[in-house]
Amino acid sequence: MSEKIAIYPGSFDPPTNGHLDILARALNLFDHIIIAVTESEHKKSLFTVEERVKMLHTVTSGMQHVTVDSFKGLLVRYVKEKKASAIIRGLRAISDFEYEFQMALMNRHLGLKETASIETVYLMPSENFTYLSSSLVKEVVRLGGDIDSFVPESIAIELKKKLKYA
């Protein structure tokens, strides 16, 4: 049987413990996960794609069956290029649902012309991370709050440096 590969796409601006929670769950279901940082031109990010890839490398170092990459353009095209069969997304509160539902159906439509189907798999994080997002973490650092339980130490250091709170 061939290896089951899934793509975990996202902004990861920056990666949080919520992202890592979803990654750990995905690793229980698939043989290999490719974390793919999206190079979106219209979504303003704090960290560059290279910085986000580097941070993800640091927080996943020592983990087996995980690679970090970045991509531009259509996700379904990237998924096919990597010979993956699934897209991993995290589902937090109900507020994620509408957008995610739209995206999953659009990706299914776009993926229809492909030989094998691509499924989007939604995973729920531990309830501690249900209300956690990269934007919230950035906001808390800007306001001088403590983010130690929400991001790995290396990310907290990078964030404080970037936002000049070091």
Q: Name the residues annotated as catalytic.
A: 19, 43, 92, 134
β-pair type (86-90, 5-10):
parallel
96 binding ligand ADP? (CB under 6 A): yes
Binder among 92, 118, 138, 151 for ligand ADP (CB under 6 A): 92
Alpha-carbon distance 58 to 66, whole Å? 12
129 binding ligand ADP? (CB under 6 A): yes
Residues 139, 95, 88: CA angle, nearest 5 degrees = 90
Q: Do 152 and 35 form a contact (C-beta atoms < 8 A)? A: no
Alpha-carbon distance 150 to 145, whole Å? 11
Alpha-carbon distance 157 to 162, whole Å? 9
Binder among 107, 125, 151, 158 for ligand ADP (CB under 6 A): 125
Region class of 58: left (phi > 0), else alpha (psi between -120 and 50), else beta: alpha
Q: For ligand ADP, what does the binding mask look like between residues 16 and 55, x meaning CB under 6 A? A: x-xx--x---------------x-----------------
How near is the Cβ of 132 to ligand ADP at its closest, in Å? 4
89 binding ligand ADP? (CB under 6 A): yes
- Cβ count near 32 (within 10 Å): 17
10 binding ligand ADP? (CB under 6 A): yes
90 binding ligand ADP? (CB under 6 A): yes
Q: Do 155 and 16 form a contact (C-beta atoms < 8 A)? A: yes
Stretch that binds ligand ADP, among 57-65, 85-93, 141-149, 155-163 (CB under 6 A): 85-93
Stretch that binds ligand ADP, among 5-13, 65-73, 108-116, 156-164 (CB under 6 A): 5-13
Instruction: List residues near ligand ADP by CB under 6 A.
Output: 10-12, 16, 18-19, 22, 38, 89-90, 92, 96, 125, 129, 132-134
